[in-house]
Structure 1
C-alpha cells in the first residue's frame, strides 16, 4: 500500500496530538482546541483531490456526533442523581456493614460500585462514595488507603460492561456503527466483561488491600491548625502609636488581624493608616507558632490568650473538573465560594507532603489537588449542599433530599428503555433530562455545570483525528503494516497484542482519544486478516478502559489518590496484577466467544 501526502500529514498530526495530550503541563482543553485549529486550517489550505476527499470543515462534525451528545446527556442525568443525594441510603447501609464486618463490607462496596458504574458515569459515583468511605475509615480506625483504590478500580471494571458505562464505550460503539458494523446493544458485550470483572473483583477484595501500604492522609491529625488570640495593647507596648500597616509588618506575614476593638466593644475599621492606641484589642488568627512570634514582637505588658474554637473542624476539599476551584487561584474565587473556611494547607498528587498555606501561597488549583481547610460545621454543611464541591469530612453528613427516589426512578427508566430497545439511548437520555428538569430533580444551573467542556473538546478533537486517519487511508496503511509484522502470529495472539497495546497507551494518553483513533485501525486489521471485526473492536473498547497503572490514566484514579494519600508507585503496584488478570481473561474470552 502507498501513502498519499495527506495520509502522511494525518499520521504526523495524530502523533503530535497524542504527544500534546499526554503532557501534564498542557491543559486538555487548550490542546484539543489547538489540534482542531491546526487540522482544519491544514486541510482547508491543502485540500485533497477527489469527490470523497476530507475537508477541513469535516473535522468539526464531531461536535454534532451522536455519541458526544449522548455522553453530555448522561452526565446531566448523573448530576441529577448526585445532586439529589440518591445514594445516601446506600452509604448508610455500607456504613453499618463496615462497622459490623470489614471484609464483607469491602466486598459489598466493590459490588455496589461496579454495578452502579455500569449504568452511570463512574466519576460521580466515586465523588459520592468518597466522603462516605473516608468518614467510615476514620470512624473504625482503618487507613483510607486500604479501601479507596480497590473501590476506584471497581468502578472502572464495572463501567466497561455496558455501552453506557463510560464515554469510551459510547464512542467505540458509535464509531463502529458509522463504519458499517451492526450497532452494539447495551448488554451485547456484558458476558466477557462480567466474567473478567468477576476475577478482577476477587483480586480487589482479597489481594489488593494487602498489597497497599498504609498511607497517612491530610486528616490524619484532626486538631485545629488555626487559632484565635486577643492582643491587648498596653501604654508601653511597641505597637502603641503605630499604624495598622506598620503593626502588620512587625507581627509578620503568617498572622492575620481579623478584628480591632476600641473602647466598649466598638469595632474599628481596619484601614492601613489607622493609628493604634493603648487599650485597643486586636483579634489575631493564625497558627500557635505565628501567634507566639507576634506576641514576642508586641513586647511590653501586652496580654494574649490563645484559644481554639472547639466547634471548628478540619476538612479536605478535593478539586474536581466541575468544581468552582478548578483552574482557579484562591485569589480569583468569588466572595463566599468557600464561605468563611480558612485554608491551612494544600496538596498536589505526586508532589510530596502537604504544604503549609502561607498567606501569600496562591496555587493554581488543578484536578486532584486537595485544600486542607478549617472552619465551622455550619459552613462545612453549607458547602456540602453544593453539588459541585467534593468535601471529605469526618462528622458532617449530607442533607436528606426528597427528590432522591424520583431521580433514581428516572435514571432507571432511561436505562430500561434503552436496554429493551424501545428507544435509542440518546432519545431515552434526552427524555430523562427533560423529566429531571421538569420535576425539580435538577436545576438548569446544575445541568449546565454537568457538561464537561474539557471532555467534549477532547472527544471532538479525537473524532477529528479518527476522521483524518480513516478518510486519508492512513488507518488502512497502519493496519496493513501491523498485519505484515504479525502475519505469522495466530489470530488470537494478534487480538491479544492489540488489547495490550491499547491498554498501555491509555495510561499516558486520554482513553477517549486512544479509543477513537484505534477503532478504525482495529476494523482495518480485522479486514486484512479476513476475520470478523467485532472482537477487535471490543479489544479496543476493553483496552481503553484498563487504566490502572498510573494516577493520570483515569480521572477516578486522581480522586482516590488525593483522598487516600497514595503515591504514584502505589498505582503501579496495585494496578499491574489487575491489568494482567483482565488482559489474560479478556484475550481468552474474546477468542472463545467471537473468533
Structure 2
C-alpha cells in the first residue's frame, strides 16, 4: 500500500479542497446515507467505515492501528463494563422492587403515576443502563394505566424521555457521554469527570420533566385504549370457545396433533383445552381430546367457522375469552415482547422465527409502528424493529424468552410479580451489587483509577462475589453498540488528521461572523440534535464535536463549552423513534406514529437547546 500521496486539491465552487478531505467527506457521506436508510445495521456500517478508512490510509491518514483503536478506546471498554454492571444490578431485582413500590403508591392517579415515572426513572437511569430500566417499567406503567382508565400512550413516551434526560446527569449516563469525554481529552486535553455534567444535567432534567408534566402531557395522543391485553389488541372477534361434540373426529386425537393440524391447514391456533376444572395448553399436551372438552381458539371469524364445521364442533357464542382465561400461571401466560432494531428476528416472518417450535409460543397479535394491528395471516407477517407482539406461552418458556437478546419481554403477570417482589426483602446479593456499583462511581470520581479500569474492576468484583457469571456477563453486553463505537471513533481521527473538521469549522465560523457565541452554540445544539435523531447520538458526537471545538476557537469562544453543548444535544434525540433505543422500545406498546415523536419531541428539543446553552454559558462561560 502506498504510504504517501502527492499533495493534491480539487476546485469545487471556486474553493480548493484537498483530495484527502474529499475522501473523508465521501466516507462520512456514505456512512450517513447508510445510517439514515438502514440498508444495513448501524454496527455493520461502522465496520465498513473502519475498512474504508484503513484501505484509503494515504488519503485518510488512518493507519490500521488507529482504525482498530476504537476497540481499545477507554470509552468502548467502559461502556462494555457498564453493560455488565447494569446486568448485575438488574439481576438483584431491586429496580423492579422500587418500581412495584411506586406502582403500589400511585394506583388510580394519573398525575401521581406520571410524576413517579419521571422522578424514579431519572436517578436510576443516570447510573444504570436505561434499557433494562425502561423494560422493567413498561409492563408496570401499562398495567397501572389500564387500571386507572388512562391510555398507556399517555405515559410511555414520558418514560422513554425521562430515561434519556437522565443520561445527562452523570458521565455514566450514556455511551455518548463517554465518547465525548474521550474526544474532549484528545482535542483539548480535558476529559469529563464523573459528575462534571451534573449541574447542567439537573437543569435539563428538571426543565424536561416540567415540560412532560404540562405541555408534553397535552400533546401526547391516546393511541392505545386502556383495558386488558386482549382489549388493547382488539382480540375479541378473533377469540372463541368451541365445544367438542361426541361425533367430532377430534375425539381420541391428542390436543397437540389437533393444534398442529389446525395451524398447518387453516392458520388457526388452538390455545388451550378446558375439561371440567382442568386446563392445559393444547400445543404442549399429548392428552387425548374427549367429548365435552372446550377448546379456546384464535383466528379470524370465517376461519373459526370453517374449523367448527370441519370438526363437528359447537360454537359457544356467550363464552367470552378474556385475559383471565389465557393468562394463568398454573397453565399458561400472556407475554408482550418487543423486537429490538438490532434483533436477528428483524426481516423474518413469524413462522420463520419459529417461536412456536422453540418456545411453545403462539403469537396472537402484532402491534406495528403507527398503531397498526396485525391479526390475520400472522405467520406470514414480516417482523420489524419496534414491533410489539402479544403471545401465549408457558411460564417456563416465558423465562427463556426473557433471557433471549433477540427480544425484550415487557409483559408479565403483573399482580403475581407485584406480590412476589413485595414479599421479598433486599438480598445480600443486592447489597453487594450496589456496593460494587457505587464503589466504581466513587473510585472514578475521586480519580483513584481511570474510569475504564474502575469499571473493569467492578466487573471482576461481580465475578468474584458470584453476582454474575462470565457467561452472563457476555450475554449482558450489547455487542452491536460496541462495534458501532469501535467503528465510529476512527472517523473522528480522520476528520481531525486530514483537517476536514477544521475546514468545516472555518466555513461555519465565516457564516457565524457577527453572531454572539451563545447563538452559535444554540445552532450547534440544534444541528447535532437533528443528526442524532437519524444517524445515532454517538455518530453525531464524533462528527460535530471536533467541528464545534474548532469553530469556538476561531470565533474566540471557549471550545470546552461547545464540546459540552454538542454532548448534551446528542444525548437528547427526542424527535424520532430510532433516535434512541428506549424510544423504539415504547414505539409498539404505545401504538405511536412517527409524527407523535416529532410533535412531542421537537418542542422539547428546541426548549432544551435554549435552556441548556444558557445554563452552559452561565455555569462554564463562553
Normalising by structure 2, we get a TM-score of: 0.81
SS at structure 2 position matched to 1:553:
coil
Matches within 5 A, 1:147-186: 147-186=155-194
Aligned to 1:91, which of 99, 102, 127?
99
Confirm or deny: 8 A CA contact 2:122 2:166 kept in the other structure: yes
Cα distance between partner residues in 2 of 1:250 and 1:75: 40
CA drift of 1:119 comes to 1.2
Aligned to 2:54: 40
Whether contact under 8 Å (1:507, 1:550) holds in the other structure is yes
Question: Larger deviation: 329-338 or 169-178?
Answer: 329-338
Aligned to 2:299: 287
Kept after mapping to 1: 8 A contact 2:355/2:361: no
Report the Cα distance in structure 1 between the residues aligned to 2:295 and 2:229, rounded to whole angstroms.
Answer: 27
Q: Distance in 2 between matches of 1:355 and 1:372?
A: 11
Counterpart for residue 120 of structure 1: 128
Equivalent residues, number: 562
1:6-37 per-position Cα deviation (integer Å, ceiling 9, x unaligned): 11110111112111111134322332222222
Structure 2 counterpart of 1:67, from 54, 63, 75: 75
Question: Whole-Å Cα distance in 2 between the matches of residues 575 and 533 of structure 1?
Answer: 28
CA deviation string 1:533-582 (max 9, x = no partner): 11010011011112111111111111122222222111112112211221
After superposition, the C-alpha distances for 1:233-285 in whole angstroms (9 at most, x for unaligned) are 85999xxxxxx99x96999522357999xxxxxxxxx9xxxxxxxx9x99895
User: 1:353 & 1:185 partners in 2: Cα distance?
Assistant: 45
In structure 1, what is the Cα distance between the partners aligned to 2:136 and 2:91? 9
> Is contact 1:344-1:374 (8 Å) kept?
yes
* 1:307-340 deviations in Å (ceiling 9; x for gaps): 8695423431112368685665544557788632
Which residue pairs with 2:229 in the alignment?
A: 219
Measured in 1, the distance between the counterparts of 2:84 and 2:23 equals 37
Summarize the Cα distance change of 1:481–1:235 in structure 2 as closer, same or farther, 3 Å threshold.
Answer: closer
CA–CA distance in structure 2, aligned partners of residues 396 and 383 of structure 1: 18
Q: What displacement does 1:373 show?
A: 0.6
Contact 1:110 1:205 in 2 (8 A): no
1:251/1:294 CA distance change after superposition, 3 Å: farther
Q: 1:580 and 1:376 mapped to 2: Cα distance? A: 47
Task: Determine helix, strand or coil for the equivalent of 2:417.
Answer: coil
Corresponding residue number in structure 1 for 2:389: 371
- Tell me if the contact between 1:228 and 1:286 (Cα under 8 Å) persists in the aligned partners: no
Q: CA deviation at 1:136?
A: 1.6
Question: Which digits, 9 at most, give the CA deviation of each residue in 1:340-399, with x for residues without a partner?
Answer: 22111223324x511115363252x34322111124566546655778642324545276
Contact (CA 8 Å) 2:153, 2:591: kept in 1 or not? yes
- 1:228 deviates by 6.7
Correspondence for 2:268: 255
Tell me which residue corresponds to 1:536: 562
Cα distance, 1:282–1:162 mapped onto 2, change above 3 Å = closer
Q: 1:410 aligns with which of 433, 436, 450?
A: 436
User: Deviation of residue 41 (structure 1)?
Assistant: 1.8
Match of 1:347 in 2: 367
Aligned to 1:15: 29
Where does 1:108-507 land on structure 2 (aligned, <5 Å)?
A: 108-216=116-224, 219=229, 221=231, 229=242, 234=247, 252-255=265-268, 285-287=297-299, 289=301, 290-297=303-310, 302-304=312-314, 311-313=325-327, 314-320=334-340, 325=345, 329-331=349-351, 333=353, 339-350=359-370, 352-356=371-375, 358=377, 360-363=379-382, 365-376=383-394, 379-380=397-398, 383-384=401-402, 389-393=408-412, 394-397=414-417, 400=421, 402=427, 403-507=429-533
Unaligned runs of 5+ in 2: 1-14, 251-256, 274-282, 284-290, 328-333
Distance 2:595 2:91 in 1: 34
The match for 1:263 is none
Q: How many angstroms apart in 1 are the aligned matches of 2:475 and 2:87? A: 9
2:600 and 2:143 map into 1 onto residues whose CA distance is: 23
SS at match of 1:346: strand
**Comparing 21-30 with 451-460, which one deviates more in the overlay?**
21-30
Q: Quick check: 1:3 aligned with 2:17?
A: yes
In 2: Cα distance, 1:84 partner to 1:168 partner: 27
* Unpaired segments ≥5 residues, structure 1: 238-243, 261-269, 271-278
* d(CA) in 2 for partners of 1:508, 1:347: 23
For the residues of structure 1 that align with 2:182 and 2:506, how far apart are their CA atoms?
23
Work out the CA distance in 1 between the residues paired with 2:157 and 2:248: 60
